């Protein structure tokens, strides 16, 4: 099979012919139909997640995967309801199953877990082995296009969990304002969740590109602010013109850059909450006194669990989620990774296979 593999940091992936992987007795083999390309794939290559530790084996990236089951391991129970030919998506976070986080269902934050495409072979290849517990059969009624299914497992999942945290904290609802900061692959979905879960809250999109803000508007943002070159005070001036307020009740930060988090903190109202799902930076610096005497909250939110993904698929089945997809070829994987790193991709680039 063909695969795009990482052999060293800060170097292009190598397109290679390798053997179709064997599967374990509890695995299924996925014939990959589509794989989303994520900014974290670029960060993997840059060494962001391992602080530059040496690679022991080549890595096949790709964690947003949809495809069909090509083989089923001998010990996969019939009760799993999985058969050859089934269209599935991959839940890419695989916990050890023994820790408290796993027992709570939050395998994505297991301290001993693995993530598909960050060690275990991912979807930048024609076939991929997956533990059967981590595939979800595509529900009846959901558009079966793999290129729109694949991004739901991260770009569509991560901001959903982040927005749920703001909802559960009581920061959304009528008369409140929520900002989605960073309209890339995640933020284009985040705006939609702000409308779906917001309970009538006013939704404002922040981005540094008019093209991305136009997408945010199409996806349901009431207002948009181009933050490029603007000070926090100038952004607040724009907010006041648009909403009548200089502050907001909730921020979903889909970038995670230090400057975007600082801006979110600056515009956050008393008792407001900031949830970060992006990972562009290295640290979070928050003003202590305003966060303390204003009783503001910061939430980290990482990916999503199996139930979160099932809920996203249910919303998609109801036709409530829009996609902005650019299909690309595995042959062009490195060019598209470079474009992604520059911020040139609007929505999601998705590798599609015949």
Residue 53 confidence (pLDDT):
58
Residue 56 confidence (pLDDT):
77
Which CATH number covers residue 62? 3.90.180.10
Closest CA to 33 of 116, 82, 90: 90
Closest CA to 266 of 240, 239, 236: 236
Looking at the structure of the chain, the number of domains it has is 2
What parts of the chain have a pLDDT lower than 70?
51-54
225 and 85 housed in the same domain: no
Residue 49 confidence (pLDDT):
83
pTM above 0.85, yes or no: yes
> For the chain, how long is the longest CA-to-CA vector?
63
Secondary structure of residue 191 in the 3-state scheme: helix
191 and 328 housed in the same domain: no
Domain-ending residue, one of 264, 283, 300: 300
Residue 191 confidence (pLDDT):
98
Give the C-alpha separation, 226 to 113, whole Å.
38
Domain-ending residue, one of 258, 274, 300: 300
Asked if residue 257 lies in contact with residue 233, where contact means CB atoms within 8 angstroms, the answer is no
Question: How many Cβ atoms sit within 10 Å of the Cβ of residue 218?
Answer: 12
194 and 284 housed in the same domain: yes
125, with CB counted inside 10 A (0-12, 13-18, 19+), is buried
Give the C-alpha separation, 124 to 352, whole Å.
10
Range of the domain at 6: 2-152+305-352
Which CATH number covers residue 221? 3.40.50.720
Residue 343 confidence (pLDDT):
87
98, with CB counted inside 10 A (0-12, 13-18, 19+), is exposed
221 and 316 housed in the same domain: no
101 and 175 housed in the same domain: no
């Amino acid at each position: 099979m063909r695969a795009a593999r990482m052999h060293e940091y800060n170097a292009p992936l190598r397109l290679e012919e390798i053997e179709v992987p064997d599967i374990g007795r509890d695995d299924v083999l996925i014939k990959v139909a589509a794989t989303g390309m994520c900014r974290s794939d670029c960060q993997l290559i840059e060494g962001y997640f391992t602080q530059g530790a040496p690679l022991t084996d080549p890595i096949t990236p790709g964690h947003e995967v949809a495809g069909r089951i090509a083989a089923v391991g001998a010990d996969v129970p019939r009760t799993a309801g999985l058969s050859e030919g089934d269209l599935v998506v991959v839940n890419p976070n695989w916990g050890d199953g023994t820790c408290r986080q796993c027992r709570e269902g939050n395998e994505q934050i297991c301290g001993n877990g693995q993530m598909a495409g960050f060690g275990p072979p991912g979807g930048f290849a024609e076939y991929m082995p997956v533990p059967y517990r981590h595939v979800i059969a595509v529900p009846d009624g959901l558009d079966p296009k793999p290129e729109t299914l694949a991004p739901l497992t991260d770009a569509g999942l991560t901001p959903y969990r982040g927005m749920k945290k703001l909802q559960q904290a009581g920061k959304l609802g009528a008369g409140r304002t929520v900002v989605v900061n960073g309209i890339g692959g995640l933020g284009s979905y985040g705006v939609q969740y702000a409308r779906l879960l917001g309970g009538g809250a006013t939704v404002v999109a922040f981005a540094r590109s008019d093209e991305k803000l136009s997408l945010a508007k199409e996806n349901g943002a009431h207002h948009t602010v181009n933050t490029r070159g603007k000070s926090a005070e100038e952004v607040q001036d724009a907010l006041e013109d648009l909403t009548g307020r200089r502050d907001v009740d909730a921020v979903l930060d889909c970038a995670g850059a230090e400057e975007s988090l600082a801006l979110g903190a600056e515009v956050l109202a008393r008792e407001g909450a900031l949830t970060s799902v992006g990972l562009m930076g290295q640290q979070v610096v928050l003003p202590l006194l305003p966060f303390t005497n204003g009783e503001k909250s910061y939430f980290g939110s990482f990916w999503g669990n199996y139930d979160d993904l099932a809920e996203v698929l249910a919303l998609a089945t109801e036709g409530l989620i829009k996609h902005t997809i650019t299909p690309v070829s595995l042959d062009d994987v490195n060019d598209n990774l470079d474009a992604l790193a520059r911020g040139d991709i609007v929505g999601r680039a998705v590798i599609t296979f015949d």
